[in-house]
A = this chain, B = another copy of it.
Amino acid sequence: MWRLYQFPLCPFSRKVRLLLSEKGVPYELWRENPWDAGDEFWALNPAGRTPVLHEADKNITLCDSRAICEYFEETVEKMPMINGTVASRAEIRRLVALFDENFYYDVTGPLLHERMKKRLILRQPPDSKALRQAMKMAHGHLDYMDYLIDTRPWLAGSTMSLADLTAAAQISVADYLGGIDWSGHEQTRGWYSVFKSRPSFRPLLSERMEVIQPPSHYGEIDG
């Protein structure tokens, strides 16, 4: 069976978990904190990052969430997530990069730094200016999502795709860390609550990262 090396608030691991569940691929979770990973983990992934997916019996190791998703897209037909014309596929991959890189850089990454790393590793209080800035950037990204959802049923087009899974994964971590103010973003909020009710999403919402508690609306489908 596949083993996923991850920690509960890693947005890239969440994307992979959503994809595996949607495609019906069984896997087990293996807790790994990249900030204090040992030699065994570094041997699996020389980049030292989660997620890593490993199949011991077949001796396969997959690293990098996009490489992992492309692998399952190529090997499992159920629930295609990078689908349609070449132009649609390029649009899906553009949005995956936008959420994995820009949203993460502007919002999820700073929130993880201020609220998780400072608490668990650095033992420092969060910097309220950095938190305000991340929340401000989140509004900008949600505005863009509102615009997309105004013009299309799903983020990248007419069907659910890896773009939706990627955005939902990033947003769910940002929301856990109190960084999302939903007011004024009814379109994206509606899209997200549809997502939250999917069976693939439920396990993520009930998990907790030690010490850090999410706001009360986090796990609620209409929250």
Residues in chain B near residue A62, CB distance under 8 A: 90, 94
Segment 108-164 of A: residues with Cβ below 8 Å from B: 144
CA distance A64 to B71 in the complex (A): 19
Q: Is the CB of A90 within 8 A of B68?
A: yes
Chain A 55-90 per-residue mask, 1 if CB under 8 angstroms from chain B, else 0: 000001011101110110011000000000011011
Contact residues of A with B, CB < 8 Å?
46-47, 60, 62-64, 66-68, 70-71, 74-75, 86-87, 89-90, 93-94, 96-98, 101-102, 144
List 28 interface pairs A-B (beta carbons < 8 Å), by A numbering. A47-B97, A47-B98, A47-B101, A47-B102, A60-B87, A62-B90, A63-B94, A63-B97, A64-B93, A64-B94, A64-B97, A64-B98, A66-B66, A66-B93, A66-B97, A67-B90, A67-B96, A67-B97, A68-B90, A70-B89, A70-B90, A70-B93, A71-B86, A71-B89, A71-B90, A74-B86, A74-B89, A75-B86
